[in-house]
Amino acid sequence: MPDKPKSNFTKIAAIVAMVVIGSAIVGYVVWHSGRVISVASAYYAKTLCSGMFVAGRDEQEVVFDDVLADMTVGLRHWHREVDADRKLVNITVLGFGERDAVYRPGLGCTLVTDTTVDALRKQAANYSPPAAAGRSSEPWPEGDRVDLTSESGGIDAQKLKATVDAAFLEPRPKRALRRTRAIVVVHKGRIVAERYAKGFGSDTPQIGWSIGKSVLNALIGTLVADRRLALDKNELFAEWKGEGDQRAAITVDNLLRMVSGLDFDEPHTRMLSDVRTMLFLKGDSAAYAKSEQLANPVGTSWFYAGGSTALLSQVVRDAIGGSQAEYFSYPYRALFAPLGMTTALIEPDAAGTFLAPAFVYASARDWARFGLLYLNNGVWQGKRILPEGWVQGSLKPTPQSGGQYGAHLWLDIPAFLRPPTSDEYKLPEDAFFMLGHDGQMIAVIPSRELVIVRLGLSRRRNAWDHGAFLHQLLQAIPQK
């Protein structure tokens, strides 16, 4: 017996359902694609703005050596406009995804997100950036005079130079470029090796990426020393104080050790991960991080997340108090100026909160000064900058991390920052690290009285091996 034909109503309903589903799919694809384009445009604008107006590099050099380096998302089709007088960069692609980044003296570049250029300039109107410091003739680190021919303290100078020189070679130019841009080796408080790539020098500010997390560790230390902040402080934000909100239990120490339990997606490999969304799509990074819910009970699990640092940046802002200008000037007054880090700055988001998870700049020599502060247990030239026991406490292993992480300091080089085929190099047990995206590193090895800075743009995971470099370099340094 033949089937009865479907009623007209049923046919219409089916067609409507298909149209609705199809429209939803198309809508999602358009929405998702728009966000991906916006992230790409924002990255382009921010990178070019900082490269030109913070680091003082040539526009074409930044575009081809930074923005387009190893990129596969077609960024070469993006259109750029640079207003050198207003220090403003505008990026679009086929008339879509427009993003702007603006430079402000002493603050670097900020993406114009959920605000305007005029509003950002007004935000910094009462802030006076530190005056440019002249180069001192005193020996480094007190000044800028470096003599690599002076007493080497038993170092094998030839082997050390060969190791540093080799770090600038490109053994696999068609597969994974290292792009090493700066190396500074400090032994017993003096620079014993130093080299820069073409276009970079001893006073060129370079991005530290997640090395900025360790800078925030230091800023929190200064506030703890002044009794303006405590590691066990909880109920950090009004948004977390609702009835039954377990996020109220999160402490400053939980955030420093990455054991908050918040559900924050970190990988830079995913275009719309939480960290990329926070850095490139949101004008208020802390507000975005605050909105994350708990994935695990507070203090029970470890997960490396820039959202923790964004939240701590807001905690620091609240602890400093006062005006926006006072907050902007605090890192220089409390940390950079005492260490002589004249090239250092932290770029804020559009809401005026420092983006310490990623956007901290300093020259290689100034990054070495920062590492030296930690080598000397928080004391600089006889003056205590960080509280007694702060460095030791920050190096106490976080159990949930498997012992590889302290409080915004690495105790080992993690697997995700090593080449997949990397050997397990045995480094001194007391070594610790400040590590950043694209191969940034400050290694501190107290037993060898060493601070080693390596900066570059190693996008491919197998391009650079921190462990192999340090293992080779240590062959040139005498043991105590």
Residues in the chain: 480
Q: What local confidence, expressed as pLDDT, does residue 104 receive?
A: 98
Given a contact cutoff of 8 angstroms between Cβ atoms, the answer to whether 309 and 357 are in contact is: yes
Is pTM beyond 0.85? Reply is yes
- Residuewise pLDDT in 10s, the chain (480 residues): 455 555 676 767 666 666 556 555 545 445 456 678 999 999 999 999 999 999 999 999 999 999 999 875 577 789 999 999 999 999 999 888 899 999 999 999 999 999 999 999 999 999 999 887 766 789 999 999 998 877 667 899 999 999 999 999 999 888 899 999 999 999 999 999 999 999 999 999 999 999 999 999 999 999 999 999 999 999 999 999 999 999 999 999 999 999 999 999 765 556 678 999 999 999 999 999 999 999 999 999 999 999 999 999 999 999 999 999 999 999 999 999 999 999 999 999 999 999 999 999 999 999 999 999 999 999 999 999 999 999 999 999 999 999 999 999 999 999 999 998 888 888 999 999 999 999 999 999 999 999 999 999 999 989 999 999 999 999 999 887
Helix (H) or strand (E) holding 433: strand 432-436
Q: What local confidence, expressed as pLDDT, does residue 28 receive?
A: 44
Given a contact cutoff of 8 angstroms between Cβ atoms, the answer to whether 364 and 203 are in contact is: no
Q: How many CB atoms lie within 10 A of CB 238?
A: 8
- For 415, the 3-state DSSP assignment is helix
User: 456 forms bridges with which residues in the sheet?
Assistant: 180
Q: What local confidence, expressed as pLDDT, does residue 258 receive?
A: 98
Q: How many CB atoms lie within 10 A of CB 309?
A: 28
As given in the structure block, the two tokens for residue 13 are: 């309903």
Distance of CA 341 to the CA centre of its chain: 17
Residue found under tokens 């934000």: 237
Given a contact cutoff of 8 angstroms between Cβ atoms, the answer to whether 266 and 437 are in contact is: no
Q: What local confidence, expressed as pLDDT, does residue 18 receive?
A: 63
Domain ranges of the chain: 8-104
Given a contact cutoff of 8 angstroms between Cβ atoms, the answer to whether 185 and 167 are in contact is: no
Helix (H) or strand (E) holding 472: helix 466-474
Q: Where are the beta strands (DSSP E) in 263-398?
A: 345-346, 360-362, 379-380, 383-384
Q: How many CB atoms lie within 10 A of CB 73?
A: 13
